[in-house]
């Protein structure tokens, strides 16, 4: 059975990745694409790699007829989704890829994003979109709030460990290496090729990155007490990928066992044999996440490394996975595309 | 219906790309994988990006039972395929991705590759694997000889123009920009990251590149007279992709018309509107080829640019396309994967 | 002896490269740096790689005291230099790195740049800054107009051949591979890292690139008749470098001899042994240009390849070389920095 | 005054970098270059970026006349230097860029490198070559043992903090991002361009990296007690550079003050203003090290980031800096080359 979907904000990288995934998805059909500033253009003009596809023209949101659309992917910058989602017909299911509904507390939203929540009455119905940990609520949800790409990576590495209590909650340090596409297609001098291609730099260092809002929320909830990690993302000259190196205190083999057990039946979360480290390049273009655990010469310390493709499993792949659940489809439908290497 | 296939030489990049494509192909099943030096290892150990797949172990060719295998992809270095293909059971169809059966004349093979042909008696049954131009013979073939990746790119740009006689046969210059994966996984100092990542260099300049053997063969045949082009490949610091800039003498609009007409019904060959130039990054990871024609300020000159992914449309994608035909499947089966961008 | 210089437009890449070169130049001292939009900032804040240097603050041009400045490097976008240079005190020598004074004919300037010349009365005194071919006039000049980086590369490959008449003037094709820094630091979507890092694309194809204005001017002058080449630049994912592959008709060995003879005493122009091809990565960060000549299997054809660093020999290095001459210094002073590899 | 030097192992990247630096050094003259497997070749053939220099031919070590050589740079793989250095005339000073004399204890050498020390009698005279911390002994030394490039980076970040006792010795975590040139020019499959260009991977994780031998030695000595850090290097697709992100417990402003005070007069160690993070691309090709300190939302935690060019400040630049001291030259001679950006 085919389900009609719309993509709002289709001219960004996550919008394009949604189209790429849906292009070979057997049950989804793209019925509308919006992109305010590029309305009137063909998607293949904005993203020529999609030119072989038969797609609707880009349009303004207000020109979309939502009558025949079952589910909307909302790939808009934060601050824009709340009002738009609020005004969609209730018949339409929504997967929001942005940050607007991730934080349960509207005060937290204001604190991390500096904006008043425009649809606070909708926040309670939003389900946090980390599929492997919110599967059943997602199945029932009308509105799913996609996670931050960094937040997804770190949670895949740490949630089962916090849940199982096998690591020290007060000494968790996550050092991330981030592909540049995470910055999106907006124009910033420090995102120019010449600035980034031979550079590595940390950013939002010291607890300033907005994805910490989600991580604090989730980890504190699981731990049953306040839990704040140290977290530093770094830009590396690669398009796609996040590799999170997490330094924890705990018994390495027990840590590995906790992850391996928790993810044994997860189709997209692959725990490597104990002592093996994952590589960012092995998940590019896919919905897979590779996780490794390595012991340390210092007793009681371990390194947990998780890697995924920020545009796919970290964003658009996750969104399709959630949409599959919301539409009653097999969760893996359309998402078994193998990683592209080299 | 599922067809069992084997991949010989699965530990190279084209072998891995075959597995990646077949992973989501609805009708092919990988029944055997060979890799002489890595026999006994799991494919997921050699290529961890494929670790989620349920694949046979790597084995030696002599240990494969070809009884239940319908088609073999042969991704071996040149000089090895001839004897191996010669000794395969006649019941098995063969798609050779290497150079061993591309040249109709065994003297040409000796001249370009420096080796005596080890299976000259088989050469006459080999069909040249440029799908869009040998579709019917490929359907009937038992042995298809995949083209060189550069040779495919240049032929997509020029074959219809030579056939239509709309360009000067004596002044064709093709300047290619080549992704590094074309050099394969073998160890050469000048293929190290540190040597290639900030460099562009031409190689096999002046008419020495082996793919000229094929191009001479095909173009001379179509032209009905000797036709030799100038041809220079250049390594650029990208993994995948070939972009061929072809300088020709002829009327630009007529040239565009000849290409657009010839490829109007081809699912994988996309001719851009007149005056638009294709980008290498728009076909990455896919079986598509984008072709553009641009006029010049000098009357009677035009630039024809074609680009494809050397590992996919230039090699493994073409091989699957040919296998589809040989097995009576839809030609596009498994190959509609959209390009990966960014 | 120390000469005071100013750099106008110091916040762009060529401005930064001038500072880098002058940092270890024994006879030049930077007395003023201008950058309109960044006036008031430290150079080390705009370009942290220069933070160890003791430099004047960035200022507006109108706030510079030109009284103690002997020479000005003008690294401004085209269209801005003419009026500014016109208004500088006559006591100041000027090296313009932009396009504003390159074309002898103000009609040509209008045709290629779409602007009326703002200082037509000054054009006659401007000397074209291709050092190796205008050495004596540059020594005497008050105003030197730096060449286009592409135009320099192509001229180094071809000027002696046109002069010597050893190639066919009507069939010259130059295919260029260009580092991204040539696009400068301005914000354009297609210069983002994510857009460029896995792409090659031609641009200004078919005779539209502005550097053709210079090439037409120079080549026509040398040839004594109208001479127009075909010319296509291509962006490759590298910061610095231009590699020009020039396809010509002529006797390869005679071509090599003409270049080797002409450049025998040139400190920065290195002709490789016959048959060797230069690599872009071997001149990075330096004022050197490597040139190679390779014969072809087709009789009477040759490939001439020249490569240089667009920011250095193609722009700021050339500018310092010219300044050295204008100030009576040794031409190579400060410019013998060896290329950076890998 | 000119001092004659020799470079043993000149065909590797650190050898080439030595030549690049010495090319514009006013007081050093390269009198001999060795490279066993490439003996008989010109340096410009092995490294064409150095072709403009007038250099001695590559030769075997046994063919060098050490009579007129004052200092030898030894850039050989570990395990080879000990016997060679042992047999050099005592009149020759030695800067070893390898690992053979870094560890004071020959048991430590055996433990980390798996080899018996071939010249244990010489170990006591070797001075550890971290210039800024061993300046006076280096001035007097005959044999200086260059540091590991990672070890230098981490020590620049942490030595003053351990010395001042402003951080917790038991919770130091160093996460490194490493340019690929650190792996040298040797042929390994995982160093091919195609393998590295879109990948980030950790290696020698968990306390296995050999540079920990030095770090343990130095930090334990300064701390006056056993001090072991957690340390994970990661390969990033860049040629040159190490960026070490160090997570420590301590008061951030006090940490910054300790570093700023200690390095106030160091010409090559630049401490950024409090709260600023350094970028790898800002030291490329230079002998500078940039260091930043950023506070954290978690009280009592800080992030210290240090970055340098592994081939330059991390190896060949350090070696020249030490040679300057050993020869009685100004320490910065030849080393003020500004970083190359972009």
The token pair at C240 is 């610095």
Q: Show residues of chain B in contact with C201, CB under 8 Å.
A: 243, 277-281
Instruction: Give residue A71's pLDDT band: very low, low, confident or very high (50, 70, 90).
Output: very high
Q: What pLDDT was estimated at residue B142?
A: 98
D201 vs B: CB within 8 A:
no
Q: Collect all residues of chain D within an 8 Å Cβ-Cβ radius of residue A240.
A: 198
Name the average pLDDT for chain B: 97
Backbone angles phi, psi at C38, to 5 degrees: -110, 15
Cα torsion B114, B119, B121, B127: sign: negative
Mean model confidence pLDDT for chain D = 97
| CA B73 to chain CA mean position, Å | 13
**Distance between CA D316 and CA C110 in Å, rounded?**
51
CATH assignment of A150-310, given 2.102.10.10, 2.40.30.10, 3.40.50.12780, 3.30.360.10?
3.30.360.10
- On the question of pLDDT at A1 being above 90, the answer is no
- CATH number at A3-147+313-326: 3.40.50.720
- Token pair for C83: 């009026």
Q: How far apart are CA C155 and CA C173, in angstroms?
A: 13
The strand pairing partners of A242, in sequence order, are A178, A308
Distance CA A320, CA A25 (A): 9
Instruction: Determine the residue of chain D that is closest to B185 in CA distance.
Output: D189
- From the list D149, D174, D246, D289, the catalytic residue is D149
Q: How far apart are CA A59 and CA A75, in angstroms?
A: 14
Instruction: Pick from B189, B202, B274 the residue to mutate for testing the C interface (most C CBs within 10 Å).
Output: B202
Report the Cα B237 to chain-centroid distance in Å. Answer: 20
Instruction: Give the number of beta-carbon pairs within 8 Å between A and B.
Output: 89
Please, what CATH class does the domain formed by B3-146+313-326 belong to?
A: alpha beta
Q: Using one digit for the tens of pLDDT, what is the confidence trace for C151-195?
A: 999 999 999 999 999 999 999 999 999 999 999 998 999 999 999
Tokens read off for B183: 């050099």
Catalytically annotated residue among C149, C174, C246, C289: C149
| Residues of chain A positioned with their CB less than 8 A from the CB of B16 | 341
Distance CA B4, CA B71 (A): 7
A3-8 sheet: strands from edge to edge: A58-59, A28-34, A3-8, A71-74, A93-96, A143-145, A126-128
Q: Is B337 on the interface with D (CB under 8 A)?
A: no
Q: Which of C20, C52, C240 sits opposite D270 (nearest CB)?
A: C52
Tell me the mean pLDDT in the region D86-107.
97
Give backbone dihedrals phi and psi of A157, rounded to 5 degrees, phi first: -75, -35
Give the residue ranges of DSSP H helices in chain A.
13-23, 43-46, 81-86, 106-113, 135-140, 149-164, 193-196, 211-223, 252-262, 317-326
Question: Degrees (nearest 5) of the Cα angle C328, C329, C333?
Answer: 160
Instruction: Enumerate the β-bridge partners of residue A172.
Output: none
Distance of alpha carbon C28 from alpha carbon D225, whole angstroms: 52
| Mutation for testing the A interface, residue in D153, D170, D171, D206 having most A CBs under 10 Å | D206
Comparing alpha-carbon positions, the chain D residue that sits nearest to C308 is D49
Three-state secondary-structure class, residue C240: coil
Q: Does B104 touch chain D (CB under 8 A)?
A: no
- Report, as an integer, the average pLDDT of A261-269: 98
Contact B341 A49 (CB under 8 A): yes
Among C119, C77, C76, C75, CA closest to C101: C119
- Which CATH superfamily includes the segment(s) C150-312? Dihydrodipicolinate Reductase; domain 2 (3.30.360.10)
As a whole number of angstroms, the distance between CA B238 and CA D198 comes to 9
The answer to whether the Cβ–Cβ distance between D197 and B185 falls below 8 Å is: no
Q: List helix spans (H) across chain C.
A: 13-23, 43-46, 81-86, 106-113, 135-140, 149-164, 193-196, 211-223, 252-262, 317-326
Residue of D nearest to A283 (CA): D199
Sheet with D93-96, strands from edge to edge, namely: D58-59, D28-34, D3-8, D71-74, D93-96, D143-145, D126-128
φ and ψ at residue A91, rounded to 5 degrees: -70, -15
* Chain centre to alpha carbon of residue C26: 22
Residue C209: how many other CB atoms lie within 10 Å? 19
Statement: residue D234 has pLDDT above 90: yes
For residues B184 and B239, the answer to whether their CB atoms sit within 8 Å is no
pLDDT of the residue at B1 = 82
Instruction: State what percent of residues in chain C have pLDDT above 90.
Output: 99
For residue A56, give the DSSP letter.
Answer: P
Residue B53 three-state SS: coil
> pLDDT tens-digit profile of A176-202?
999 999 999 989 999 999 999 999 999
Distances (CA, A) of D15 to A179, C146, D320: 33, 36, 12
Could you identify the residue written with the tokens 């640019």? B305
CA distance D282 to chain A (A): 8
Residue-wise pLDDT for C70-88, tens only, equals 999 999 998 999 999 999 9
CB atoms within 10 A of CB C55: 21
Instruction: State the burial class of residue D91 (Cβ atoms within 10 Å of its Cβ: 0-12, 13-18, 19+).
Output: exposed
Could you tell me the CA-to-CA distances from A133 to A96, A129, A138, C131 in Å, in that order?
A: 17, 8, 10, 67
Q: Is B41 on the interface with D (CB under 8 A)?
A: no
Cα separation, B54 vs A260, in Å, equals 18
| Residue located via tokens 């792996």 | D183
Residues D271, D263: Cα–Cα separation, whole Å: 7
Q: What is the per-residue pLDDT for C251? A: 98
Among B187, B189, B194, most D C-beta atoms within 10 A, so best to mutate, is B194
Q: How far, in Å, CA of A179 to CA of A202, rounded?
A: 12
Q: Which residues of C touch D51 (CB under 8 A)?
A: 270, 282, 290
Query: Residue A280: left (phi > 0), alpha (psi -120 to 50), or beta?
Result: alpha
B19 touches chain A (CB under 8 A): yes
pLDDT digits (tens, 9 = 90+) for A307-327: 999 999 999 999 999 999 999
pLDDT digits (tens, 9 = 90+) for B261-311: 999 999 999 999 999 999 999 999 999 999 999 999 999 999 999 999 999
Taking the Cβ of residue A35 and every Cβ of chain C, the question of whether any pair is shorter than 8 Å is answered with no
Cβ–Cβ gap B47/A288 under 8 Å: no
Which contiguous run of DSSP H or E holds residue B289?
strand B289-295
Q: What is the pLDDT of residue D174?
A: 98
Distance from CA of B151 to the nearest CA of C (A): 18
Secondary structure (3-state) at D21: helix
* Helix (H) / strand (E) containing A257: helix A252-262
Residues of chain B neighbouring A198 (CB-CB closer than 8 A):
198
Query: Is B194 in contact with D13 (CB distance < 8 Å)?
Result: yes
Tens-place pLDDT, residues D277-304:
999 999 999 999 999 999 999 999 999 9
Chain D CB contacts of B13 under 8 Å are 194
CB contact under 8 A, C194 and A187: no
User: What residues contact residue A14 under an 8 Å CB cut-off, 6+ apart?
Assistant: A75, A97, A311, A315, A316, A319
- In chain D, the percentage of residues whose pLDDT exceeds 70 is 100
Burial B69-88 (b: 16+ CB within 10 A, else e): bbbbbbbbebbbbbebbeeb
Report how far apart the first and last C-alpha atoms of chain C are (Å, whole number): 35
Task: State the burial class of residue C312 (Cβ atoms within 10 Å of its Cβ: 0-12, 13-18, 19+).
Answer: buried
Chain B residues closer than 8 Å to D238 by CB: 197
User: A123: which 2 tokens?
Assistant: 């926040």
Pairing of strands C301-308, C289-295: antiparallel
Label residue B68 exposed, middle or buried (CB < 10 Å: 0-12, 13-18, 19+).
exposed
Task: Locate the domains of chain C by residue range.
Answer: 3-147+313-326, 150-312
Residue in chain B nearest D189 by alpha carbon = B187
Task: Name the region of B4 (left: φ>0; alpha: ψ -120 to 50; beta: rest).
Answer: beta
Topology of domain D150-309 in CATH is Dihydrodipicolinate Reductase; domain 2 (3.30.360)
Q: Does B280 touch chain C (CB under 8 A)?
A: yes
Residues in A closer than 8 angstroms to B290, CB to CB, are 48, 51
Contact across the interface for D193 and B239, Cβ inside 8 Å? yes
CA atoms of A217 and A239, how far apart (whole Å): 29
Residue A286 near residue A309 (C-beta atoms within 8 A): yes
Q: What is the pLDDT of residue B166?
A: 98
Q: Choose the closest CB to D341 out of C49, C279, C283.
A: C49
Report whether D244 contacts D175 (CB < 8 A): yes
Q: Does C164 touch chain A (CB under 8 A)?
A: no
Catalytic residue among B74, B149, B246, B289: B149
In chain D, the N- to C-terminal Cα span, in Å, equals: 35
* Cα-based angle A161, A167, A173 (whole degrees, multiple of 5): 95
Cα dihedral A36/A41/A47/A50 (nearest 10): 120
Taking only the tens place, the pLDDT of each residue in D125-153 is 999 999 999 999 999 999 999 999 999 99
User: Measured between CA atoms, how close is D232 to chain A, in angstroms?
Assistant: 9
Quick one: pLDDT at residue D233? 98
Q: What is the residue whose two structure tokens read 């290629």?
A: C112
Q: What is the pLDDT of residues B92-127, one digit of tens each?
A: 999 999 999 999 999 999 999 999 999 999 999 999
Quickly tell me which residue has 């204008």 as its tokens. C326
Dist CA C10 CA C17 (whole Å): 9
Residues in chain D: 342
Residue B237 is nearest to which of D13, D188, D193, comparing CB atoms? D193
CA distance B210 to chain D (A): 22
D289 is catalytic: no
User: Residue C30: which of C39, C38, C22 has the closest Cα?
Assistant: C22
Compute the mean pLDDT over every residue in chain C, rounded to the nearest whole number: 97
Token digits of residue A285 = 């273009």
Put the strands of the sheet holding D230-235 in their side by side order. Answer: D201-202, D230-235, D173-178, D242-249, D301-308, D289-295, D269-271
pLDDT per residue as tens digits for the range C215-228: 999 999 999 999 99
Query: Average pLDDT of C313-320?
Result: 98
pLDDT at D1 over 90: no
Cβ distance of C340 and D285 shorter than 8 Å: yes
Q: Give contacts of B181 with chain A, Cβ < 8 Å.
A: 342
């Amino acid at each position: 059975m085919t389900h009609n979907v719309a993509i709002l904000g289709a001219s960004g990288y996550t919008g394009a990745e949604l189209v790429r995934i849906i292009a070979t998805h057997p049950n989804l059909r793209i019925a509308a694409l919006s992109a305010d500033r590029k309305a009137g253009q063909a998607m293949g003009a904005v993203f020529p790699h999609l030119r072989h596809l038969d797609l609707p023209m880009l349009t303004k949101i207000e020109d979309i007829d939502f009558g025949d659309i079952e589910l909307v992917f909302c790939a808009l910058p934060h601050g824009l989704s709340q009002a738009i989602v609020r005004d969609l017909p209730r018949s339409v299911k929504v997967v929001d890829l942005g940050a607007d509904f991730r934080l349960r507390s509207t005060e937290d939203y204001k604190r991390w994003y500096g904006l008043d929540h425009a649809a606070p009455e909708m926040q309670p119905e939003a389900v946090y979109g980390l599929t492997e940990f919110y599967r059943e609520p997602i199945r029932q949800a009308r509105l799913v709030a996609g996670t931050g790409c960094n937040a997804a990576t770190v949670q895949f590495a740490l949630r089962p460990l916090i849940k199982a209590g096998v690591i020290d909650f007060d000494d968790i340090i996550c050092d991330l290496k981030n592909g540049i596409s995470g910055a999106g297609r907006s124009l910033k001098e420090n995102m120019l090729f010449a600035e980034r291609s031979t550079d590595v730099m940390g950013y939002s260092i010291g607890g300033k990155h907005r994805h910490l809002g989600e991580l604090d929320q989730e980890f504190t909830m699981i731990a049953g007490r306040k839990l704040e990690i140290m977290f530093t993302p770094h830009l590396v000259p690669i398009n796609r990928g996040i590799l999170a190196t997490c330094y924890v205190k705990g018994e390495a083999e027990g840590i590995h066992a906790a992850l391996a057990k928790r993810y044994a039946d997860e189709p997209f979360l692959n725990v490597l044999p104990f002592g093996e480290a994952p590589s960012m390049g092995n998940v590019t273009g896919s919905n897979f996440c590779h996780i490794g655990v390595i012991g340390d010469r210092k007793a009681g310390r371990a390194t947990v490394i998780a890697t995924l493709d920020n545009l796919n499993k970290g964003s658009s792949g996750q969104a399709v996975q959630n949409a599959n659940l919301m539409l009653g489809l097999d969760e893996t439908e359309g998402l078994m595309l193998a990683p592209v290497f080299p």
